[in-house]
């Protein structure tokens, strides 16, 4: 048997094993009276090339799941059509606000709010994205989202990033339960995406990051960050991973300087400027340092390229009925994504190479 050329080998973002990509064997998901299942898709009888392309785009390739640790899983057929996929994951303790942040971020990205930077996004995995879109819709209707279930191995959403001056790239997002970084299950599957991610967003909220400001006077520790960092440390390229460190729920600190300044800034339409990322990082660093938020600062310092951000996914706290009665008003949620895409080399602008330095 001959080994297939390297170009047909891909690393599965879910089980992290390398396998030979074979897109002559396509699958689709059918749901009928006997339930939902995967079936082989036969496109050979379609001779209209446009229609064939359309049908192919809806198909999936089965990962051989060589390590047999994961449940059976399938990847969208476009996964290998556009160069190396970019895997972005969120790391943070339970209830820190990861899911609300990802939902508001993807909502704005799909709405086209990064088009001034030449970045346009489209969902390209109907199955996964429709589930995530329901979460987005709930949030936009003013409903609080549920905590993420434990030990979910799957990708949260999958998009194609079509950049105006650059190549199209698949973007994979992982958002798992915060507990998974602390207790990763008997086989260690929980939160293992960090071993294969291209870029990471470390997220914390004021109650965890700056407990002293909440009157608690405790020293901040972050077991989710420590758990993820320990695993990332096994990667040879660990220090080169682009990292955005994000203090979310900053609406809770909207009267605190310098958070008040940054949370109100609306600069997404301005040309990319590494100095702006640096200025925000410097101010947030000083704020965190003043309040002894060591875990966030440790992450920021550990990686060669990193940025610090303040964001608010919802603009306000949910009320006792688990709703946001005045709707949600996200603030600066696309800045960490823009920083990561710039650091990952996906933003065509001379300043992109300077972001995070």
Ligand X SMILES: Nc1nc2c(ncn2[C@@H]2O[C@H](COP(=O)(O)OP(=O)(O)OP(=O)(O)O)[C@@H](O)[C@H]2O)c(=O)[nH]1
153 contacts ligand X (rule: CB under 6 A): no
- Nearest to ligand X of 46, 318 (CB atom): 318
User: How long is the chain?
Assistant: 357
Which residues between 90 and 149 bind ligand X (CB under 6 A)? Answer: 92, 94-100, 144-145, 147-148
DSSP one-letter code for 331? B
Spatial CB neighbours of 337, under 8 Å, sequence gap ≥ 6:
88, 105, 109, 114, 201, 244
Distance CA(32)–CA(39), nearest Å, equals 12
Binding partner of 194, given ligand X, Mg ion, Zn ion, none, CB within 5-8 angstroms per partner class: none
Q: Pick the piece of the chain touching ligand X (CB under 6 A) from 87-95, 161-169, 233-241, 342-350.
A: 87-95
The distance of closest approach from Cβ of residue 174 to ligand X in the complex, given in angstroms and rounded to an integer, is 12
The DSSP secondary structure of 230-249, one letter per residue, reads HHHTTSTTGGGS-EEEEE--
DSSP state letters, 301-329: HHSSSEEEEE-BSSSS---TTSB-TT---
Residue 89: contacted member of Zn ion, Mg ion, ligand X, none (CB under 5 to 8 Å, by partner type): none
The CB-of-269 to ligand X minimum distance in angstroms stands at: 22
Residue 12 contact partner, candidates ligand X, Mg ion, Zn ion, none, CB within 5 to 8 A by sort of partner = Zn ion
Q: Which of 166, 171, 148, 163 is nearest to 88 (CA)?
A: 171
- Site size toward ligand X, by CB under 6 A: 24
Q: Is residue 65 a contact point for ligand X (CB under 6 A)?
A: no
Binding characters for ligand X, 227-266, by CB under 6 A (x = yes): ---------------------xx-xx--------------
The residue at minimum Cβ distance from Zn ion is 12
Q: Please report, as ranges, the residues that interact with Mg ion according to CB under 5 A.
A: 98-99, 148
- DSSP H helical segments within the chain, as ranges? 49-57, 98-111, 126-140, 206-209, 223-232, 259-264, 274-290, 294-302, 334-343
Least distance (Å) between residue 66 CB and Zn ion: 8
Structure tokens at 296: 């966030």
Greatest Cα pair distance, the chain, in angstroms, is: 69
| Interface positions with ligand X (CB under 6 A) | 92, 94-100, 144-145, 147-148, 177-178, 248-249, 251-252, 312-314, 316-318
């Amino acid at each position: 048997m001959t080994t297939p050329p390297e170009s047909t080998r891909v690393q599965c973002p879910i089980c992290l094993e390398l396998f030979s990509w074979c897109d002559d064997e396509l699958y689709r998901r059918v749901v009928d009276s006997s339930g939902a299942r995967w079936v082989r898709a036969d496109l050979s009888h379609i001779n209209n090339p446009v229609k064939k392309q359309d049908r192919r785009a809806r198909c999936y390739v089965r990962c051989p799941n060589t390590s047999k640790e994961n449940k059976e899983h399938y990847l969208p057929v476009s996964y290998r059509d556009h160069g190396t996929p970019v895997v972005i994951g969120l790391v943070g303790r339970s209830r820190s606000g990861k899911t609300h942040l990802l939902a508001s971020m993807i909502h704005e990205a799909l709405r086209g709010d990064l088009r001034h930077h030449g970045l346009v996004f489209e969902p390209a995995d109907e199955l996964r994205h429709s589930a995530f879109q329901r979460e987005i819709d709930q949030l936009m209707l003013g409903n609080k989202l549920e905590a993420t279930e434990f030990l979910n191995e799957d990708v949260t959403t999958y998009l194609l990033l079509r950049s105006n001056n650059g190549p199209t790239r698949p973007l994979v997002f992982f958002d798992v339960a915060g507990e998974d970084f602390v207790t990763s299950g008997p086989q260690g599957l929980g939160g293992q995406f960090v071993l294969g991610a291209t870029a990471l967003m470390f997220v914390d909220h004021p109650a965890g990051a700056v407990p002293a400001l909440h009157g608690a006077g405790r020293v901040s520790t972050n077991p989710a960050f420590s758990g993820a960092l320990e695993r990332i440390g096994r990667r040879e390229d660990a220090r080169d991973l682009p990292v955005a460190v994000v203090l979310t729920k900053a609406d809770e600190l909207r009267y605190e300087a310098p958070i008040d300044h940054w949370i109100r800034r609306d600069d997404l339409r301005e040309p990319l400027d590494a100095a702006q990322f640096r200025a925000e990082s410097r101010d947030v660093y000083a704020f965190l340092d003043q309040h002894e938020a060591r875990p966030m600062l440790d992450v920021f310092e550990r990686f060669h390229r990193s940025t610090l951000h303040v964001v608010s996914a919802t603009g306000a706290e949910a009320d006792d009925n688990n709703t946001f009665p005045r709707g949600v008003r996200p603030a600066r949620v696309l800045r960490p994504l823009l920083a990561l895409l710039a650091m990952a080399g996906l933003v065509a602008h001379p300043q992109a190479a300077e972001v995070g330095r």
